[in-house]
Amino acid sequence: MSGLALDGSTSILIIPILAALLMAVLPDFRLSARLNALSAFLTLAAAFSLLFYRPEPGSFIVVDDLNIVFLLLNTFVAFTTSVFSASYIGHELEIGRLTPSHLRFYHAMYQVLLFAMNLALLANNIGLIWVAIEVATLTTVLMVGIYQTQEAIEAAWKYFILGSVGIALALFGTILVYMAARPIVGEGVDGMVWTVLLRHAADFDPALLNLAFIFLLLGYGTKAGLVPLHAWLPDAHAEGPTPISAVLSGLLLNVALYAVLRFKLLLAANPMAIAPGPMLVTMGLVSLVFAGFMLYRRRDMKRMFAFSSIEHMGIIAFAFGMGGPLANFAGLLHMTMHSLTKSAIFFAVGHVAQAKSTQKMAEIGGLTQSHPPLGWGLVLGVLAIAGLPPFGVFMSEFLIVSATFGRQPLLALALVIGLLVAFGALILRMQGLAFGAPKGTMAPVKASYVPLALHLALVLIAGFYLPAPLVAWFQHVANMLG
C-alpha cells in the first residue's frame, strides 16, 4: 500500500482523534471552537481525497462507492455544524448554562463522535462496525446530558438504556453472521471481514443469516430511530445541545442505516435467505405514519423536529426496502436532502430557542418579524422538509412514490397518506412559530447564518438541477444495493 493510500485511508480517523486530545486540554473555548471547525474541515478534505485515490481493502478498512456517499455527507454536515456550534456554544457559556470545563469536554467529544461515525463507515469488519457505533452512542449519551439538569440526565439515561438494548441485539446478530461464515471461511478475522463475507455469502447457512438480520435490523434500527425502537430520540433531541440534535438527525441515524444496508447486501447474495426488503418497508411505513400523527401532539420545537426525523428515516428505510434502481436512487437522494435540510432547521431552531429562552412553541411566535433571518430560514427549512417544490426533498419523495406506484400501488397510497399527514402538521406548526404577532422575549442573538443559508441553498439547487456525475454516481450505488 502506497503512502498516499495510507494517508487517504487513515487521516479521516487520525485528525479527529488528535483534535479531541488537544481540545480536551485547551483552556480557551474560542480557540477550541475554531480548532473544532478547522479539524472538521480537514476531515472533510480527507474524505474528498478518497474520490481521487482509494486504498486497497484491508482486514479493517474498506473504501467503496457506497461508503464514500455516506463519508462525504457525514464530514460535510459535521463541518457546517461545527461552524454553527461555535456561536451556539459561546452563547451558552455567556448565559451560564455551560462552564469552560463543559466546553472543553463538548469540543473533545464532538471530535470523538466524528471519529466513531467515520470509523463505522470505513470499517471492513462487522465487529469493528459494531464497536464504532457503540462508541458513537456512548459519546452522544454524554453530550445529551451535558447540561446536567434533571431532564437532561433522564434523557441521557433513557438513551443509554434503549441504546444498550439495541446494541446488544446488534451484537447478537453480528455473532450469528460470524457463526454462519465460520464453516465456509474458517475461524479468525476472515469470518468478520465484510469483503470476504460478501464473496462467500451464497454458501452460508440461510437460516442463520435470516435470524441474524432480524436481530441486526432491530439493533441498528434502534440507532436509526425506526418505530417501535424510537423512544430515546425525542428526549435526546429536546434536552441535549442543539448542534448534537443536528448531528443525531443528520448523521448518526444515517450511520446506523448504513450498517443495515451492508447486511442487506449480505442476505441478497444468498439465494436461499429471506428477502430483507419487506421488513424494511414495514418498519419504514410504520415509522412514517406514526411520526406523522405524533407531530400534531408536540409542544416543544426540538421534539417536533425529532419526530420529523423519525418520519424521514422511515421514508428512507421504505425506499431501500422497496429496492430496485429507482427506489434506491431516491433513497440515497432523500437521505442526502434530509441530512442537509434537517440540520439547517436545527441551526435555526437552536438560535431561536436562545433568543426566546424557551423551546415551547406556545411561547414563540412572529419570528419573521422579531428575528427575520432566523424566522425566514425556519420557514424555508420547514417548507423544504415538508416536501414542497422546488426543494430537493420534493424530488426525492416524488421518485419514491413513483417507484412504489409502479410495483405496489396500495403501498404507494399508504405512503402518500403518511406524507400528507406529516405535511399538514409541519405547515400548521410553522405558521404559529413564524407569523403573527411576536411572542416571548426579543433578545438579540449572535447567530451563524452561513451554515443555515448554505444548506438551504444546496437543497433548493438540488430541486432544479443535479450534476450529471452525481446522478451517475448515485445510479451506480443504487444498482449495487439491488
Domain that holds residue 447: 277-482
Q: What share of the chain is helix, strand, coil (3-state, %, to 5)?
A: 80, 0, 20
Q: Are 332 and 478 in contact (CB under 8 A)?
A: yes
Provide the whole-model pTM.
Answer: 0.92
Indicate the number of domains in the chain. 1
Half-sphere exposure of 466 (CA within 13 A, CB side): 21
Q: Is residue 434 part of a domain?
A: yes
**Nearest CA among 70, 412, 414 for reference residue 260:** 70
pLDDT digits 0-9 by tens, 425-456: 999 988 888 887 777 776 677 778 899 999 99
The DSSP 8-state label assigned to residue 251 in this structure reads I
Average pLDDT, rounded, for the chain:
89
pLDDT digits 0-9 by tens, 304-325: 999 999 999 999 999 999 988 9
Total H helices, total E strands in the chain: 20, 0
Q: Is residue 379 part of a domain?
A: yes
**What's the mean pLDDT in 118-144?**
92
Q: Are 96 and 147 in contact (CB under 8 A)?
A: no
| Cell output for 241 | 445541545
Q: Residues 463, 465, 470, CA angle at the centre, nearest 5°?
A: 110
Q: Give dist(CA 285, CA 227) in Å, integer.
A: 9
DSSP assignments along 207-225, one per residue: HHHHHHHHHHHHHHHHHHT
Q: Is residue 437 part of a domain?
A: yes
pLDDT digits 0-9 by tens, 186-245: 887 888 899 899 888 888 889 999 999 999 999 999 888 898 888 888 888 888 888 888
The DSSP 8-state label assigned to residue 191 in this structure reads G
Prior bond to 451 cis, omega within 30? no
Q: Is residue 58 part of a domain?
A: no
> Is the pLDDT confidence value at 122 over 50?
yes
Prior bond to 243 cis, omega within 30? no
pLDDT bin (cut points 50, 70, 90) of residue 5 is: very low
Q: Give dist(CA 425, CA 358) in Å, integer.
A: 21
> Is the pLDDT confidence value at 353 over 90?
no
Q: Is residue 291 part of a domain?
A: yes
Q: Is residue 214 part of a domain?
A: no
**What's the mean pLDDT in 122-140?**
92
Q: Is residue 250 part of a domain?
A: no
Q: Is residue 332 part of a domain?
A: yes
User: For residue 443, what pLDDT is reported?
Assistant: 67
SS3 (DSSP) at 448: coil
Q: Are 130 and 167 in contact (CB under 8 A)?
A: yes
